[in-house]
Amino acid sequence: MALSEWVLIAGMMAVTFGIRYFLFALADRIRMAPWIEASLKFIPPAVLTAIILPAVLLPKGNWNLSLSNPYLVSALVTTAAGIRTRNLLTTIAIGLGAFFVHRLFL
């Protein structure tokens, strides 16, 4: 690698670290309105939904809402398992099992 590539990598590392360090260093000094703090708990489910839903409903770039879609079937089984068990590891195991059973036998 040329020296310019190393300088570029070091610069990107410095910018990335600086942004994250700055936010963590100021985290205890920033006071937000109570409604903002209360709404922050909705960010992880919203982001996960935005990532997972297209993968489940559009597995090959086209809509597939039938039971022949292993992603949709396993998502439904996983959702039911999560609601029923309230245990993350069990939910993941049931979802993976449902996906592999569907792919192997159906």
Q: What tens digit of pLDDT does each residue of 20-44 get?
A: 898 888 878 888 899 998 999 999 9
Same domain? For 48 and 84 the reply is: yes
Angle between helices 70-85 and 88-105 (to 10 degrees): 150
Same domain? For 22 and 57 the reply is: no
Same domain? For 54 and 99 the reply is: yes
Judge contact between 70 and 41, C-beta under 8 A. Answer: no
In order of 53, 72, 102, the CA distances from 95 in angstroms are: 15, 11, 11
- Domain hosting residue 89, numbered range: 40-105
Same domain? For 24 and 58 the reply is: no
50 within some domain = yes
Whether the pTM exceeds 0.95: the reply is no
Same domain? For 10 and 57 the reply is: no
Domain count, the chain: 2
pLDDT, tens only, 45-88: 999 999 999 999 999 999 999 999 999 999 999 999 999 999 99
Same domain? For 56 and 6 the reply is: no
35 within some domain = no
Judge contact between 76 and 94, C-beta under 8 A. Answer: no
What is the C-alpha to C-alpha distance for residues 56 and 46, in angstroms, rounded to an integer? 15
- Contacts of residue 70, defined as CB under 8 A and 6 or more positions apart, other chains included, come to 99, 102, 103, 106
